[in-house]
């Protein structure tokens, strides 16, 4: 396989060498009409090489990129190729999207692209556009990785634009691509060119990977800044979300039909990243971008604003959808007749439990709790097992809270003098007061274990983890209160689960942080307990108790419970989110773009995963 791949790379390099020597595109002279015709005709004749990886193709095109970069400052052939691609994008979209307003924005960019003179007289079809976009992507990716922003713009400018600070060609290319990608739906006939347009757009945005973030200037990201000036951000954001939801697929015969395209030489093209994932990466990359003048606020980002204005349906749709007959893949409990919303609750709670108990990492549980908090007021017809797992979630954090208190108590005992420790050991279960509200026993073996550790460090870590556990307990109580306040009648199984495990809550009733939350829960419990004592029930079965709960929920006067959700963000949170997102994009697209990690600067700002504390001592949850 290795020998076959290297042979194919050598063959492709030879073909491209013939291309560059026969056509003046990468040479030291301006390409004429015949040269442009030979360029695309030669590309059409390149045989497909589906066994090549993207890195192999980029290796084969490296010499072409170097020659183009060296000579383009004089010839400006790349500028002409970009303008021609813009013109083709506009013309093909006008053909595919007729009618008033269908391609109005693209016609403007088409007129601007034609201002430099007539385009090369080659056949204007989707395959030609696909090849033009591919060549633009290869050349600009090379420039982004090897030049700074000023040199990049100089490579794209024409002779008339030389010496100016305007990124006119960059803006034309970006807006033409976004106009073309705003088309819906994405049919099989335009799938290849649509995907190539998105790939080119993502490459244009990748200046984030190769420019310094801490010393960024207004000129560092000309393509991303042009995206923020796009006047149809709502249409583009909607198209990207629809792509992610619908996941368009190419026609079965598409690879054979596009075999004359140079971009089909990439290996495993059908097995790599889907169009839906690519659309999501592009939209997220646009939503996180901000210019130095608007930092740290992102309110001037139109794509971020559009995401905030879309109607939120994810919370209610899972509960009102069809019931799942059975869930065979969930091994901990056999479940049937469960809604998607209840199943999501079960999975989130299970994720929290497994992550805390086995991985000892609180990063993922915090976000699972935030998702449960967002769902809480929309819970409807909660499955018995889902209700049970919600209560067990509180019990798990309660046990964790008690365990951390014991660790703090052990640390307090360990720093006492030897006589005091000896006296304490003589008592089988001494009661020791900690800085919190509980009095917990400390056993003899726990005191002995303290002599083998650093009590000051252990106590400090335990106190930090205790604060995190209390924050998580508070979020769980907020979730229960939100459901009881907004959907008590729709969730009798949750009331039943609360009655079944009511002994969990009294120990926290006097805690200053939880008392106001437990007041509402205990009021609901007292209401149903009173009804159960008044009901003439001969046998307390599950069905009989649920019947009383359903009748009692009709008479319960729900008091307005003011839920307050706040989001605390560090002053320079963008310094984390932007590198984290772009590192995710880099990893998710590595098979298709062969990024150059040696020149990356933004990914170096990512914090090490190993630096996260393993003891649950992290920041409080984002939503409380």
| Helix then strand then coil, % of the chain, to nearest 5 | 65, 5, 30
Helix, strand, or coil (residue 289):
coil
What is the mean predicted confidence (pLDDT) over 112-134? 66
**pTM of the full structure:** 0.65
Rounded CA gap, 191 and 459, in Å?
Answer: 59
Q: Does 24 or 420 have the greater pLDDT score?
A: 24
pLDDT of 345 > 60? The answer is yes
Question: For position 256, what pLDDT does the model report?
Answer: 41
* Domain ranges across the chain: 2-309, 317-555
What is the mean predicted confidence (pLDDT) over 594-614? 58
Q: Does 424 or 75 have the greater pLDDT score?
A: 75
DSSP 371: H
User: Exposure string (b/e) for 584-614, b if CB count within 10 Å is 16 or more?
Assistant: ebbeebebbbbbeeeebebbebeeeeeeeee
CA angle 447, 449, 455 (to 5 degrees): 80
Helices 492-500, 384-414: crossing angle, 10 deg rounding:
40
Residue 427: which region, alpha, beta or left (left: phi > 0; alpha: psi -120 to 50)?
beta
pLDDT in tens, 154-205: 888 776 555 454 468 888 999 999 999 998 788 888 888 899 899 999 999 9
pLDDT of 613 > 90? The answer is no
Structure confidence at residue 544 as a pLDDT band (50, 70, 90): confident
Structure confidence at residue 117 as a pLDDT band (50, 70, 90): low
Structure confidence at residue 103 as a pLDDT band (50, 70, 90): very low
pLDDT of 452 > 70? The answer is no
Question: For position 489, what pLDDT does the model report?
Answer: 85
Residues 6+ apart with CB under 8 A from 532: 499, 540, 545, 548
Helix, strand, or coil (residue 354):
helix
Structure confidence at residue 255 as a pLDDT band (50, 70, 90): very low
Least confident of 53-67, 127-141, 338-352, 597-611: 597-611
**Highest mean pLDDT range out of 31-35, 38-42, 354-358?**
354-358
**Would you say 182 and 175 are in contact if contact means Cβ atoms under 8 Å apart?**
no
Q: How far is CA 185 from CA 180, 194, 246, in A?
A: 12, 11, 9
pLDDT in tens, 127-168: 778 878 888 888 899 888 888 888 888 888 776 555 454 468
Tell me the backbone φ, ψ of residue 409, rounded to 5 degrees: -60, -40
Q: Does 126 or 31 have the greater pLDDT score?
A: 126
Question: For position 240, what pLDDT does the model report?
Answer: 93
Least confident of 37-41, 146-150, 366-370, 471-475: 37-41
Rounded CA gap, 499 and 546, in Å?
Answer: 11
Reported as type and span, the H/E element at residue 338 is strand 335-338
Q: Which residues pair with 439 in a beta bridge?
A: 433
Question: How many CB atoms within 10 Å of residue 323?
Answer: 12
Q: Which of 244, 321, 334, 366 is nearest to 617 (CA)?
A: 366
pLDDT of 266 > 70? The answer is no
């Amino acid at each position: 396989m290795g020998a076959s791949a290297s042979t194919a790379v050598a063959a492709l390099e030879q073909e491209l060498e013939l291309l560059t020597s026969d056509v003046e595109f990468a040479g030291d002279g301006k390409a004429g009409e015949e040269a442009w015709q030979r360029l695309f005709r030669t590309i059409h004749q390149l045989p497909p090489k589906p066994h090549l990886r993207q890195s192999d193709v980029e290796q084969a095109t490296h010499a072409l990129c170097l020659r183009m970069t060296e000579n383009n400052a004089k010839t400006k052939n790349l500028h002409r190729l970009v303008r021609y691609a813009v013109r083709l994008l506009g013309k093909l979209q006008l053909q595919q999207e007729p009618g008033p307003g269908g391609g109005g924005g693209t016609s403007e960019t088409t007129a601007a692209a034609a201002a430099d003179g007539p385009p090369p007289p080659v056949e204007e079809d989707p395959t030609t556009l696909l090849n033009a976009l591919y060549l633009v992507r290869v050349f600009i990716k090379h420039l982004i990785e090897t030049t700074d922003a000023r040199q990049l713009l100089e490579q794209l400018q024409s002779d008339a634009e030389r010496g100016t600070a305007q990124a006119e060609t960059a803006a034309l290319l970006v807006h033409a691509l976004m106009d073309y990608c705003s088309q819906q739906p994405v049919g099989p006939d335009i799938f290849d060119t649509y995907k190539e347009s998105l790939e080119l757009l993502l490459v244009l945005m990748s200046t984030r990977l190769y420019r310094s973030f801490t010393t960024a200037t207004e000129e560092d990201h000309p393509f991303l800044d042009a995206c923020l000036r796009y006047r149809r951000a709502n249409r583009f954001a909607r198209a990207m979300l629809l792509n992610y939801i619908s996941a368009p697929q190419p026609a079965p015969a598409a690879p054979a039909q596009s075999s004359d395209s140079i971009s089909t030489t990439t290996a495993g093209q059908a097995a790599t990243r889907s169009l839906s994932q690519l659309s999501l990466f592009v939209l997220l990359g646009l939503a996180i971008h901000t210019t130095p003048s608007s930092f740290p606020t992102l309110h001037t980002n139109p794509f971020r604003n559009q995401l905030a204005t879309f109607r939120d349906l994810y919370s209610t749709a899972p509960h009102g959808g069809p019931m799942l007959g059975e869930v065979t893949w969930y091994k901990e409990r056999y479940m049937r007749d469960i809604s998607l919303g209840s199943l999501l609750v079960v999975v989130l709670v299970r994720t929290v439990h497994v992550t805390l108990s086995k991985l000892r990492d609180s990063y993922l549980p915090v976000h699972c709790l935030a998702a449960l908090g967002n769902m809480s007021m929309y819970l409807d017809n909660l499955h018995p097992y889902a209700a049970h797992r919600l209560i067990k979630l509180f019990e798990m954090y309660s046990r964790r809270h008690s365990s951390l208190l014991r660790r703090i108590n052990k640390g307090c005992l360990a720093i006492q003098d030897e006589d005091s420790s000896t006296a304490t050991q003589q008592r089988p279960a001494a009661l020791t007061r900690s800085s919190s509200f509980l009095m917990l026993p400390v056993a003899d073996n726990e005191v002995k274990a303290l002599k083998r550790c650093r009590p000051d460090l252990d106590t400090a870590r335990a106190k930090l983890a205790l604060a995190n556990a209390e924050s998580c307990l508070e979020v769980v109580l907020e979730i229960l209160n939100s459901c009881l306040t907004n959907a008590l009648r729709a969730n009798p199984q949750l009331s039943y689960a609360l009655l079944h495990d009511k002994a969990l809550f009294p120990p926290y009733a006097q805690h200053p942080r939880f008392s106001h939350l437990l007041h509402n829960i205990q009021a609901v419990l007292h209401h149903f307990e009173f009804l159960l004592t008044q009901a003439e029930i001969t046998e307390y079965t599950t069905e009989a108790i649920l019947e009383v709960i359903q009748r009692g929920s009709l008479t319960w006067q729900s008091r307005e419970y003011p839920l307050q959700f706040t989001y605390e963000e560090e002053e320079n949170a963008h310094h984390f989110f932007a590198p984290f997102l772009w590192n995710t994009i880099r990893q998710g697209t590595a098979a298709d773009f062969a990024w150059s990690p040696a020149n990356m600067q933004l990914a170096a700002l990512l914090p090490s995963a190993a630096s996260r504390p393993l003891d649950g001592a992290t920041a409080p949850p984002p939503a409380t």
